[in-house]
Amino acid sequence: MQHLAQINVARLRHPEGDPRMADFFDNLDRVNAAAERMPGFVWRLKDESGNATQIRAYDDPLMLANISVWETPDAFETFVWRTVHLQFYRRRGEWFDGTLAGPHFAMWWVPEGHRPTPAEGRVRLEYLAAHGPSDHVFGWESLNQDNMWMRARCA
């Protein structure tokens, strides 16, 4: 059985502790708890604090990486677009620099039980930037393309 892994990265406009970032950092626990309560949620990258803001996928301390694993694309999609997550996603321009070179989001299939590392997620983003979507790594636009995700789930 395969699960869906995802990474999204963003560069903070201001460092943690800056008052302009307060709504983002003050609501991380709330959004993370919503993810963990979702049917189909499997795992998310976090440290002892309960979030991943101090885990580095890049040398830049303002770059954040969020990695999670879901049973199905539908479960992940429901969390992203139909929970409290959406109200914070809509405000991303307040907190994150939108000028990243290359993709900031990628998904790929992992064996059940696998926990992707920040380095693995970064490699997937780099592959997506260099080669475009494939069975190896893809974005939202590829989930239903020729039933790509169904083939991967059944493999």
* Domains held by the chain: number: 1
Dihedral sign from CA coordinates of 122, 115, 86, 64: negative
φ and ψ of 139, to 5 deg: -120, -170
| Band of residue 150 on the pLDDT scale cut at 50, 70, 90 | very low
Mean pLDDT over each residue of the chain, to the nearest integer: 91
**3-class secondary-structure state, position 66:** strand
Counting DSSP H helices and E strands in the chain, the numbers are 7, 5
| Band of residue 146 on the pLDDT scale cut at 50, 70, 90 | very low
CATH number, residue 105: 3.30.70.100
Give tens-digit pLDDT for 115-133: 999 999 999 999 999 999 9
| Residue 97 CA to its chain's centroid (Å) | 16
Q: Residue 22 is part of which domain span?
A: 2-154
User: E strands along the chain, which residues?
Assistant: 2-12, 41-44, 63-70, 96-97, 105-111
Task: Tell me, yes or no, if the pTM score tops 0.75.
Answer: yes
Give tens-digit pLDDT for 32-59: 999 999 999 999 999 998 999 999 999 9
| Band of residue 4 on the pLDDT scale cut at 50, 70, 90 | very high
Q: Which residue has the higher pLDDT, 99 or 43?
A: 43
Measured CA to CA, the distance from residue 83 to residue 155 in angstroms comes to 30
